[in-house]
Structure 1
């Protein structure tokens, strides 16, 4: 485990799509955090140095989440994505998913404060 990790990751298997400009790929989410996601690298994936839009629907619902991400790493058939922007509805649902899986609201609140501080210091919104 990476001791430098600041955000708790939860296992979350769900189908998703990645979009970059006019390119779109189907993928599967491996895990999620407030700060991004780990997904399977789609077949024929070619990354241009522009943001990737990650979209997925919560299983057994019609609730769709979207986040604009940056590719952090591409190795061993997986893509590490860092959240660059997420809308209010999506972050609310993501927060609830993580809260239910962590079972520790105080840990989640600390991570949310860290996420806000990190985005404030880098000039991004999330």
Structure 2
């Protein structure tokens, strides 16, 4: 798996997997394309009714006893591709996400830079 930095501030890891998006009582399936410590890019099903600015809970099941749960805000929508900005992660999710990104990083120093930025922003975890 490769990582991509594109124009984004945070190192992103290509990671293809199904995820669930929940807004209140409404839940939908989506497909994760890439993830970072500060967001994710997902592909949503046809007819998905989300809008920029809405807050969704993204859940990525990694194993029977491990998942990444991320409180997100829809940052942009381009067709069926939705960019989600991470607003909050619990400590377990942050640990799993860090391991996932680190495993796929070509340069671990970039991950350390991202973690330092999150700590400076004070918005990484509860």
Q: Tell me which residue corresponds to 1:43.
A: 46
Q: CA deviation at 1:125?
A: 4.8
Q: Tell me which residue corresponds to 1:26.
A: 29
1:83 aligns to 2:86 (yes or no) = yes
Q: Which has the higher strand share?
A: 2
- Write out per-residue CA displacement over residues 15-71 of structure 1, whole angstroms, 9 at most, x where no aligned residue: 11000011110011000011010000233321265410000111xx22111000000
The correspondence for 1:73, drawn from 71, 76, 83, is: 76
Q: Tell me which residue corresponds to 2:61.
A: 57
Distance 1:105 1:3, change over 3 A: closer
Larger mean Cα displacement after TM superposition, 1-10 or 91-100: 1-10
Over the aligned positions, Cα root-mean-square deviation in angstroms equals 1.9
Q: How many residues align?
A: 120
- After TM superposition, the score normalised by the length of structure 2 is 0.85
1:107 aligns to 2:110 (yes or no) = yes
Distance 1:64 1:80, change over 3 A: same
Secondary structure in 2 matching 1:26: strand
- After TM superposition, the score normalised by the length of structure 1 is 0.85
Structure 1, unaligned runs of 5 or more:
none
Q: CA deviation at 1:4?
A: 4.0
